[in-house]
Amino acid sequence: MKYLDEFSDPELARKLVDQIHAVTTRPWAMMEVCGGQTHSIIRHGIDQLLPAGVEMIHGPGCPVCVTPLEIIDKALAIAARPGVIFCSFGDMLRVPGSSRDLFAVKSAGGDVRVVYSPLDALKIARENPDRQVVFFGIGFETTAPANAMTVYQARRFGVANFSLLVSHVLVPPAIAAIMESPRCRVQAFLAAGHVCSVMGTAEYPPLAEKYGVPIVVTGFEPLDILEGIRQTVVQLESGRHELQNAYPRAVRAEGNLAAMAMLRDVFEVTDRTWRGIGMIPRSGWRLSERYRDFDAELRFDVADLHTEESALCRSGEVLQGLLKPNECAAFGKQCTPRNPLGATMVSSEGACAAYYAYRRLDLVQIS
Amino acid sequence: MCLAVPGRVLSISEVDGTLMAQVDFGGIRKDVCLEYVPDVASGEYVIVHVGFAIQRLDEASAIETLANFERLGILDQEFGDQTGAER
Amino acid sequence: MTDLDFENWTCPVPLRDTPTVVMGHGGGGAMSGELVEHLFLPGFGAAGATTDLGDCAVLPAGGGRIAFSTDSYVVKPMFFPGGSIGDLAVNGTVNDLAMGGATPLYLSAAFILQEGTALADIARIAEAMGAAARAAGVRLVTGDTKVVDNGSGDGVYITTSGIGLVADGVDIGPRRAVAGDTVLISGDIGVHGVAVMSCREGLEFGTAVSSDTAPLHGLVAAMLATGADVHVLRDPTRGGVAASLNEIARSSGIGVDLVERDLPIPPGVADACSLLGLDPLQVANEGKLLAFVPAEQAGEVLAAMRAHPYGAGARRIGTCVSEHPGMVVARTALGGTRVVTMPIGEQLPRIC
């Protein structure tokens, strides 16, 4: 694919790796916020190529991992209702709620469908006027515009049988929460490239300043990640803490104005509980007053749900970068991708799943 | 979080009053909503996430970034390692 | 840091988490395997299979050996670029026999038709099966038809069983791989899965990728004619190359090392996988096979494959090693390593 494959070039990767080694004189710990970046790092073995002291701490940038348990349980309750067609991105189907997942609901007769885009769910709603069609609207700021447009269209075309179960989370408040944590070891951030494609970069300089951390907007292909790391190390080595954009082909400082206008209309900021972490104030979006009648949480009576997280699961500490997956007692034993206790093991972006899947084989030498 | 890929806009049309495009991803074709990048023209590239173009891809910037990667290390080789760091 | 136990990654009581069948049980990955190992085989008891399950069973009969295999086809949509459920039903079972080194002879075909399915569609499927059988040189000699209530829309489920003959001296099975063996693939991977996904509701996309369904016993015969001691053959269908290599690694007690840049992934497959967030190694194949052969014979087997129409794109993709038994490890293009895991259940597109 053009403008994608070139950014995996192994020769250029080698140059970037050499540069990182050349400029590193001390140990540094940086966090990549985005789950897609975690996936890419571990899948390509990028962390293995870095200088010994440069550590990647995996952040909570996996919307699947951090979707509150309560919302998952509400999704499961709604999906199990007769007459409901429950549409979702593929990632969410195996996330465990308090006692089961969407696959189990499907198995019990629920009409659960995977779609690529929320507009597909709207199409299903128009084709099935006698059924209630609900779309599970999770994601960071990247996905919010798609969900917003879908609800906007639903209103515009009077698709009354459509509703959205919203659980959007925001990156900048998460960065602040991580830096406020007393055990925080993070010295710099690789900001999520596609979040910034939408939101621009304006929210980050104040964070860089307040916490004294370099923040480098980074893409997802191997060269993008290596360049993001390189720029970060250069800043750390020279004692700077600024915002830099290492993904200029897809990110402009002002972001996408049309998308941001729609987001302001359709959503409003709310407090949000991040699974495994806790409540981060003003870190989520919910439907605004104007669109509240499309809110699935209100349309279906799912207010009283008892939620209980596994006592063994330490996803929260993993999500905050305080624990490496293989340091958790349950990792690989009670908790595996096959039987996940927490969301970090379910999502392909979750740090635990990434470690489990691509687990380091320092013993193996492939010639 | 954000699996988004670059694609080339092939054709643009209005469907139900919504700006849509047929986008080509190296041979894969998909219909994409263009409402958020309305001024993009046929032949240009957009970044697509879950069926929506979320930003135009700046081709000049992409080419420059790759050129920068190619040039990396050349100055060091000519003038020696500036930071004095051990490899 | 806790000690990582590479032997025991999965839960010791694998079925406890779901009391009912879920879609993942049919995905060709770990869940499907567990259903067989922990439910069916124990249920069959002494009357069940006693040896490692490969693609087909090779059994003594009348002084020689016959190969016997069965498979069910439930693909939706029934018609996709490059073929139909009919083609898969014939070629799939022909290939299961071929993977045991057998010459396929006869097939049975049992149909479960959903009430309301268009007869014209069934006729198309039947014609496809006839054409595929003729091309493969096998005959459809017996069968059955049942109709079930109109459940989830129209559909046809086909089960084909096949028998073939295995020549003396041929000993091919998932336990025979040894450290040092070369792993070969007969051509491009991920093709069939992408072709089918491209017309699945909710995911549709336009593509030139067309299913690679094909009968492979001719290719296998050409490989065996070299006189090489082929250890293992496997057609990597559901679960892709990843599932097949993991199963063989586990059965034989060896590790497999792959080199990512040697994997033949055509651009159409790579792009579709990038778009949907899938791993090409986990995407289904149809007219392709994996072969494990002694290193010193790999060259001649490869030449024989490349001379055959269904093996033109054949390549060396990896090596068997004594390290990390039961695990498949890939060297990435960047020089790092990653483990190629056994897919768990259904392959799902992702947004993250």
CATH of the domain at A163: 3.40.50.11740
What per-residue confidence (pLDDT) applies to A107? 83
Q: Which residues of B touch A89 (CB under 8 A)?
A: 50
Decide which of C148 and B21 is more confident: B21
Cβ–Cβ gap B59/A3 under 8 Å: yes
Determine the average pLDDT of the residues in A122-149. Answer: 96
Residue with tokens 């249920």, as numbered in its chain:
C43
Q: Rounded distance, CA A99 to CA A306, Å?
A: 11
Number of continuous H segments (helices) and E segments (strands) in chain C? 9, 14
Query: Before C77, cis peptide (omega within 30)?
Result: yes
Nearest Cα residue to C77 out of C187, C191, C201: C201
Range in A112-121, A224-233, C178-187 with the lowest mean pLDDT: A112-121
3-state secondary structure of C159: strand
Q: Which residues of A touch B52 (CB under 8 A)?
A: 117, 145-146, 149
Question: Residue A8: inside a domain, yes or no?
Answer: no
3-state secondary structure of C170: coil
Where would I find the beta strands (DSSP E) of chain A?
A: 28-34, 54-61, 84-88, 111-114, 132-139, 162-169, 188-192, 215-218, 243-245, 267-274, 278-287
Nearest Cα residue to B57 out of A37, A219, C351: A219
For residue C328, give both structure tokens. 């498949």
Question: Residue A200: inside a domain, yes or no?
Answer: yes
Number of domains within chain B: 1
Above 90 in pLDDT, residue A350? no
* Nearest-neighbour CA in chain C from B58: distance (Å): 19
DSSP A52: T
Segments forming the whole domain that contains residue B34: 5-79
pLDDT by residue (tens digit) across A65-75?
Answer: 788 888 999 99
Above 80 in pLDDT, residue A317? no
Decide which of A155 and C344 is more confident: A155
* Nearest-neighbour CA in chain A from B66: distance (Å): 8
For residue A156, give both structure tokens. 């515009």
Residue C277 is nearest to which of B3, B27, B28, comparing CB atoms? B3
Question: Residue A137: inside a domain, yes or no?
Answer: yes
Nearest Cα residue to C309 out of C230, C245, C221, C207: C221
Domain C182-339 listed as CATH 3.90.650.10: yes
What per-residue confidence (pLDDT) applies to A347? 55
What number of other Cβ atoms are within 10 A of residue A148's Cβ? 29
Residue-averaged pLDDT of chain A: 87
What number of other Cβ atoms are within 10 A of residue A145's Cβ? 30
Q: What are phi and psi of C43, to 5 degrees?
A: -65, -40
Q: Where are the domains of chain C?
A: 53-166, 182-339
**Residues facing C103 on adjacent strands:** C165
What number of other Cβ atoms are within 10 A of residue C50's Cβ? 7
3-state secondary structure of C60: strand
**Residues facing C143 on adjacent strands:** C109
Give A207's pLDDT tier (boundaries 50, 70, 90). very high
Number of domains within chain A: 1
Which residues, 6+ apart, have CB-to-CB distance to C101 below 8 Å?
C58, C67, C166, C167, C170, C171, C172, C220, C224, C230, C233
What per-residue confidence (pLDDT) applies to A150? 97
**Residues facing A286 on adjacent strands:** A268
Q: What are phi and psi of A71, to 5 degrees?
A: -70, -40
Range in A293-302, B6-15, C251-260 with the lowest mean pLDDT: A293-302
Segments forming the whole domain that contains residue A239: 29-323
Cβ–Cβ gap B3/C351 under 8 Å: yes
Nearest Cα residue to A190 out of A223, A145, A220: A220
Cβ–Cβ gap C352/B50 under 8 Å: no
Question: Residue B47: inside a domain, yes or no?
Answer: yes
Determine the average pLDDT of the residues in A303-313. Answer: 62
In which element (H, E) is residue C98 found?
Answer: helix C85-98
Q: What percent of chain A has pLDDT over 90?
A: 65
- Residue A220 near residue A3, CB atoms below 8 Å: no
**Residues facing C259 on adjacent strands:** C331
Nearest Cα residue to A284 out of A144, A121, A135: A144
Question: Residue A331: inside a domain, yes or no?
Answer: no
Q: What percent of chain B has pLDDT over 70?
A: 83
Q: Which residues of B touch A9 (CB under 8 A)?
A: 69
Q: What is the helix, strand, coil percentage profile of chain A, to 5?
A: 45, 20, 35
Please check whether residue A257 touches C, CB under 8 A: no
What per-residue confidence (pLDDT) applies to A152? 97
Q: Which chain C residue is nearest to residue A323, measuring alpha carbons?
A: C1
For residue C163, give both structure tokens. 């028998």
Question: Residue A2: inside a domain, yes or no?
Answer: no
Range in B53-67, B69-83, C236-250, C319-333 with the lowest mean pLDDT: B69-83
Q: Which of A114-123, A300-309, B21-30, C301-310 has the highest mean pLDDT?
A: C301-310
For residue A261, give both structure tokens. 């206008």
Question: Residue B87: inside a domain, yes or no?
Answer: no
Q: Rounded distance, CA A361 to CA B5, Å?
A: 30
Above 60 in pLDDT, residue B73? yes
> Using CB atoms, which chains have 3+ pairs under 8 A with B?
A, C
What per-residue confidence (pLDDT) applies to C9? 29
What per-residue confidence (pLDDT) applies to C14? 33
For residue A249, give both structure tokens. 């082909």
CB pairs under 8 A between A and B: 149
Cβ–Cβ gap B35/A192 under 8 Å: no
What per-residue confidence (pLDDT) applies to C34? 78
Q: Is the dihedral of CA A252, A258, A263, A265 positive or negative?
A: positive
For residue A118, give both structure tokens. 């929320």
Q: What is the CATH number for B62?
A: 2.30.30.140
Residue A77 CA: distances (Å) to CA of A118, A341, C1, C57: 20, 20, 39, 45
Q: Rounded distance, CA A57 to CA A49, Å?
A: 15
Decide which of A42 and C104 is more confident: C104
Cβ–Cβ gap A89/C203 under 8 Å: no
Question: Residue B84: inside a domain, yes or no?
Answer: no
Determine the average pLDDT of the residues in A276-294. Answer: 92
- Thinking of the domain C53-166, which architecture would CATH place it in? 2-Layer Sandwich (3.30)
Q: What is the pLDDT along chain C (352 residues), one digit of tens a residue?
A: 333 333 322 332 334 456 777 777 776 677 777 788 888 888 888 887 766 566 788 888 888 899 999 999 887 889 999 999 999 999 999 999 999 999 999 999 999 998 888 899 999 999 999 999 999 999 999 999 998 887 655 689 999 999 999 998 899 999 999 999 999 999 999 999 999 989 887 778 888 899 999 999 999 999 999 999 999 999 999 899 999 999 999 999 999 999 999 999 999 999 999 988 889 999 999 999 999 999 999 999 999 999 999 999 999 999 999 999 999 999 999 998 888 988 876 677 777 7
